Amino acid sequence: MAICSSKIVNLTVLFCLIEPFSNAVSFNFTSFTTNNNNISYENAYPASRVIQLTANQRDLQMTASLGRATYYEPMHLWDKATGDLKDFATHFTFTIDSQNRSAYGDGIAFFLAPEGSKIPDNVTKGGNLALASDGIGLNTTVNRFVAVGFDIYRNLWDPEHEHVGIDVDSMKSVANVTWIRYDPKTHNLSVSFTGFRNNTTVMQHLSAIIDLRLYLPDNVTFGFSVATGNASAIHQISSWDFSSSLENDSNTTDPTAATQPNHKKRKNRTGFAVGFGVSGAFVVMVLVGIASLYRKKYQSDEEDGDAIDEAIEDEFERGTGPRKFSYKELVHATDDFNEVQKLGQGGFGYKGFLKDSSSYVAIKRVSSGSRQGIKEYASEVKIISGLRHRNLVQLIGWCHENKQLLLVYEFMPNGSLDSHLFNQNSLLPWELRFKIAQGLASGLLYLHEGWQQCVVHRDIKSSNVLLDSDFNAKLGDFGLARLVDHSKGSQTTVLAGTMGYLAPECHIAGKASKQSDVYSYGVVALELACGRKPIEPKAGEGKVNLVEWVWDLYGRTQLLEACDPRLNGVFTVREMEQLMILGLWCAHPDENSRPSIRQAIHALNFEAPVPVLQSKMPVATYYAPPMSVTPLNQFSSNSTYRNSTRASQFTSSSSSSATASLLLAPPV
């Protein structure tokens, strides 16, 4: 019996040594119970299906309360060998209840810290949110961490009011807001959060450019930290979902698959030697076991691939259209995927030449390392295979071989719109810009009204607008597209799209609709007129956000000041004004105030006037949806906010609640 036990241990050692270098982390907790062993608690506990991070019983000492809740396993944040930084996204719902006290504190932080991080010694002050010891200077490296803090108590180093801050090795935020909106680029550490004002939710954003590799080791602990100091308040986490992956990761941690965490870690080199010290017969057994596992995995992959192929082929059998290519054909077409044939960064991948049709094509390589990649691949093929319109990129064929997912499109010789708008070596004259705006609107009208089902694209942006040899606009990349019945207005789904082009309602509940596509179209229209990106962090005060900047100029009757200076005034004033006002109308914060794409086309063609908009850009407000709509929207009903254009102050009645989203992508 002892021998068998030894073999099992050594088998585990061997498998640990050959497992992938890092695992993805993915989980979704809609509530918390004592049976959930995937959360590690420090001075915190689960109760009433939420995480209680601070004391919440009136007969107990509620001041100087602190607590932490972290995921039970560390996250592999970046790869030391390659320097690759992990992409991750997290959404959580929290509540801070002041219990009608006039003095309350201190706040809550989502943090990342070195693996094994615990509440530091000598923590009594709430301003540190249990992340740093008392007496430590503001800019110290004693306690390493990166955190997003929701701070409700003003310390000496804080801004004047309650704020959200991004903190790096210090409780003095490198970026903070007084509840104002700030849309980040996707490679920034960016925060989107909602609060209440008169029983309506208000969406706000914050970001800062941070290379986490400079501040954190490769493995980190992550979760929530709270401290109250001399004040008190109840801090709770109601839901939490998280997903991450390195570029080559394909494994996912599923907390629902096993309630007991696996605390076995990688063994050292001594363990490796012990593993090889077993008899030859046992080594053979291990190798056979490994081969069996790989065979099962291969068979599973093959079954998945066959299922995808059958599903796609079933779609194509319904009519003529895209055909299936062999991998060998595409290798020949691209000269073995030669780097010379690459079409920019990402995008459509490679340029190829098909000898049988004597035509050039664009071959898009889809990530096959995750279920999401396969899902988007199947979605893109299914949707675009049935679409036929002069302003949509035409799908010619597809390939699923050698664990490769490839889509073959018509080649667009003039590349993407953004490569001309934001390239100093290329200048699009006004006539072409106005023509592109009209063509893009025409393609979008077909998607929304011209096909058997409404297609919501969900990722309209200048980099997805491609230009043929005559600079006709063609909308591409349908990986995030969704089909919606014409009778239904919208579809609630996970947050998807590109920051800067996302409509406010998409942030709050992932609400994809024709109106959210129109919002994105409006942003592209403004890009065409102004020649700049939707978010420019270095643009100066009041100019960072394109829509807000143009709206401000519109309100001051100085709209033409936003025109692309590279045009040198060579444009038709009537068309320029019409396009910019149309862009603002389409990008209206209130989805019900936006035009349909058909109305937008009428205005663009001067068949209908554009409306007179408010002189000041309205604030996006939405009534809180029912709690059953999505676990990311769980709000308390008795919170109030005072709001102004410069600051919004939190006022405690009974409790306040917010939903926060944190998105991080590697620097580009």
Instruction: Say which CATH number the domain at 484 has.
Output: 1.10.510.10
- Whether residues 356 and 453 share a domain: the answer is no
For residue 138, give the CATH number of its domain.
Answer: 2.60.120.200
Instruction: Give the mean pLDDT of 588-612.
Output: 94
- Whether residues 103 and 189 share a domain: the answer is yes
Question: Could you say which of 106, 158, 459, 552 is catalytic?
Answer: 459
Instruction: Give the mean pLDDT of 291-299.
Output: 47
Res 255 pLDDT > 50: no
* Rounded Cα–Cα distance for residues 353 and 358 (Å): 7
Closest CA to 515 of 438, 560, 472, 454: 454
Res 85 pLDDT > 60: yes
Range of weakest confidence among 265-279, 370-384, 503-517: 265-279
Last residue of a domain, one of 410, 426, 461: 410
pLDDT recorded at residue 314: 53
Residue with more model confidence, 206 or 262:
206
Residue 551: domain span: 418-620
Highest mean pLDDT among 31-40, 175-184, 573-582: 573-582
* Rounded Cα–Cα distance for residues 648 and 193 (Å): 14
**Is residue 633 included in any domain, yes or no?**
no
* Rounded Cα–Cα distance for residues 625 and 629 (Å): 7
Res 554 pLDDT > 80: yes
pLDDT recorded at residue 541: 83
Structure token digits, residue 45 = 């506990």
**Is residue 282 included in any domain, yes or no?**
no
- Whether residues 325 and 371 share a domain: the answer is yes
Per the prediction, the chain carries an average pLDDT of 69
- Whether residues 521 and 373 share a domain: the answer is no
Res 258 pLDDT > 50: no
Question: How does residue 638 score in pLDDT terms, banded at 50, 70 and 90?
Answer: very low
Examine the residue annotation and report whether 106 is marked as an active-site residue of this protein.
Answer: no
**Is residue 644 included in any domain, yes or no?**
no
**Is residue 634 included in any domain, yes or no?**
no
**Is residue 291 included in any domain, yes or no?**
no
**Is residue 190 included in any domain, yes or no?**
yes
- Whether residues 457 and 565 share a domain: the answer is yes
Last residue of a domain, one of 375, 410, 445: 410
- Whether residues 232 and 301 share a domain: the answer is no
**Is residue 25 included in any domain, yes or no?**
no
* Rounded Cα–Cα distance for residues 649 and 205 (Å): 16
pLDDT recorded at residue 604: 96
pLDDT in tens, 322-369: 888 999 999 999 998 888 888 865 445 899 999 888 889 999 887 555
Asked if 551 and 602 touch (Cβ cutoff 8 Å), the reply is no
Tell me how far CA of residue 569 lies from CA of 26, 431, 529, 546, 639, in angstroms. Answer: 52, 13, 11, 20, 50
Percentage above 70 pLDDT, the chain = 56
Residue with more model confidence, 525 or 206:
525
> How many structural domains does the chain have?
3
- Whether residues 221 and 308 share a domain: the answer is no
* Rounded Cα–Cα distance for residues 435 and 421 (Å): 14
- Whether residues 197 and 318 share a domain: the answer is no
Query: Is the alpha carbon torsion for 579, 581, 585, 588 positive or negative?
Result: positive
- Whether residues 302 and 343 share a domain: the answer is yes
Residue with more model confidence, 66 or 530:
530
- Whether residues 81 and 130 share a domain: the answer is yes
Instruction: Give the mean pLDDT of 442-469.
Output: 90
* Rounded Cα–Cα distance for residues 607 and 610 (Å): 10
pTM exceeding the 0.75 threshold for the entire prediction: no
Using DSSP's 3-state secondary structure scheme, residue 23 falls into coil
For residue 351, give the CATH number of its domain.
Answer: 3.30.200.20
Across-strand partners of 176?
165
Q: Where are the beta strands (DSSP E) in 594-655?
A: 621-623, 640-643, 648-651
Highest mean pLDDT among 133-147, 152-166, 633-647: 133-147
**Is residue 625 included in any domain, yes or no?**
no
Place of tokens 């992990």: 86
- Whether residues 106 and 171 share a domain: the answer is yes
- Whether residues 35 and 149 share a domain: the answer is yes
Res 665 pLDDT > 70: no
pLDDT recorded at residue 241: 78
Does residue 42 come out as left (phi exceeding 0), alpha (psi in the -120 to 50 range) or beta? beta
Last residue of a domain, one of 382, 410, 438: 410
Question: How does residue 596 score in pLDDT terms, banded at 50, 70 and 90?
Answer: very high
Residue with more model confidence, 496 or 662:
496
Using DSSP's 3-state secondary structure scheme, residue 373 falls into helix
Res 611 pLDDT > 90: yes
Question: How does residue 11 score in pLDDT terms, banded at 50, 70 and 90?
Answer: very low
Using DSSP's 3-state secondary structure scheme, residue 382 falls into helix
Res 293 pLDDT > 50: no
Using DSSP's 3-state secondary structure scheme, residue 114 falls into strand
